Amino acid sequence: MKIKKFLYSFLFVSLFSSLLFSNTQIHSLSFGGISGTPSVDPETSEARSWFIYELEPGESIEDSINIRNSTENEVNILVYPADFAGTNIGGFALKQRIEEMTEVGSWIELEKNEITLGPKERKTIPFTLTLPEEKIDVGEHAGGILIESKPKKDPLDGEGGVALSTRVGVRVYITVPGEVIESLKFNSFTSEISKKFEYYLFNKNLYFIDIPKEYTFKTIYSNTGNISNDIKIKYSIKDLFFENHQEISSTQKITRDTEATSHISWEAPRFGKYEVKAKGYFLESNTLEFTTPKIIIWVLPWDLIIGTIFILLSLIFAILIRKIKNSGKKWKKYKIKKDDSITSLAKKHKISWKKLVKVNKLKPPYSLNTGKTILVPPSKNPTKK
């Protein structure tokens, strides 16, 4: 069936992906020498990594899980089924033991939920999987059987304290035959500055100079279909000034009924106006499912702008100071005498002859007419002739 094809494609492509569990990251089907694997497939006599079934509503199947202790010590193990929980990136995770199970975790009945394994001992625990006859959706249902070291303090005992334990699980996938529905729902598209240029003055960071070095674009979407799928998010970044176009793609898996977050990093240029948007595709069929709204980003070199403004203001300030100095403000009027010259007046008032000429706007040959008035700086102790 078509749905079975989708399921097996998803399962085997992601065979080596990490198992992610709430509060516990799992990177293999073992911990501390304790491992769990499905028993040999009774129909094909082949080894299995996961439990994979195709069942009709109300149908039952019997199977078993192998649990092995590879250590030299005796261990107490808890074994229990759990519902799929999902992660914020659309990955695989299972509920905690203390949470209510409403799907796969409630459909599996293990012969034993607690065992003790001696050194190098292996045990097989049979279980029965029964699908409810009603209120079960067509498509894929995921869960798992978890193996957990029994904590010294169990939160289910109702006692206080923190219970720390390590757990690992074997995935369980169930397909209920019917129409395959592939559907994605767009939720949000945002951008944020993830890295900034840092500027210091006297060992203090100038936080008011907000200059982006890198942006992160984030797309949140949901799988509203009835199977898991591989998704490609294609980000389009267009330079509105020079018509340059850049595309960055991100691929990930998303299980049914979960929300996923796709994000990419983009090194910001020094200047420009950019239009950014994202499109969501099913990877296998390359079917476009959604297009995000556009985000407009202005990138301005504020450090260069502020530096240029500072230099210009400094130049203007210097010019104004010089102009004020050469304006003759607060200078007094002086009536030229017969023997006065530019050099003698400059020496008398302790200033340069060039400044005296500038203030009075005299032109070469800088001759002085007796009886006329010019401006000279006030001097408490002028040099006498």
**pLDDT tens digits, one per residue of 267-317:** 988 889 999 999 999 999 999 999 999 999 998 877 778 788 889 999 999
What's the gap between Cα 340 and its chain centre? 80
Quick one: average pLDDT of 250-272? 90
- Running DSSP on this structure, what letter comes out for residue 96? -
The answer to whether domain 184-304 and domain 326-385 are alike in fold is no
Q: Who contacts 369 (Cβ-Cβ below 8 Å, separation ≥6)? A: 336
326-385 has which fold? Membrane-bound Lytic Murein Transglycosylase D; Chain A (3.10.350)
Under 8 Å between Cβ of 185 and 219: no
Residue range 7-37, pLDDT digits in tens: 444 333 333 233 333 333 333 356 678 889 9
Report the pLDDT value the prediction gives residue 256, as an integer from 0 to 100.
85
CA distance 175 to 137: 10
Six token digits for residue 7: 């399921």
Report the pLDDT value the prediction gives residue 44, as an integer from 0 to 100.
80
H or E segment to which residue 359 belongs = helix 353-360
Quick one: average pLDDT of 96-115? 94
| Domain 184-304 in this protein, CATH class | mainly beta
Quick one: average pLDDT of 46-57? 92
Residue range 148-196, pLDDT digits in tens: 888 766 555 555 444 446 788 899 999 999 998 999 999 999 999 998 8
Quick one: average pLDDT of 56-61? 94
DSSP secondary structure, 199-255, as one string: -EETTEE-TT---EEEEEEEEEEEE-SSS-EEEEEEEEEEETTT--EEEEEEEEEE-
**Angle (nearest 5°) at CA 259 between 257 and 265:** 155
The domain ranges of the chain are 2-154+161-176, 184-304, 326-385
- Per-residue pLDDT at 2 exceeds 50: no
Residue range 195-254, pLDDT digits in tens: 887 776 777 666 666 788 899 999 999 999 988 889 999 999 999 998 889 999 999 988
Report the pLDDT value the prediction gives residue 154, as an integer from 0 to 100.
58
Q: Who contacts 36 (Cβ-Cβ below 8 Å, separation ≥6)? A: 29, 30, 65, 66, 67, 68, 145, 147, 168, 169, 170
Q: Which CATH number fits domain 2-154+161-176: 3.40.50.300, 2.60.40.2310, 2.40.128.110, 3.40.718.10?
A: 2.60.40.2310
What pTM did the predictor assign?
0.63
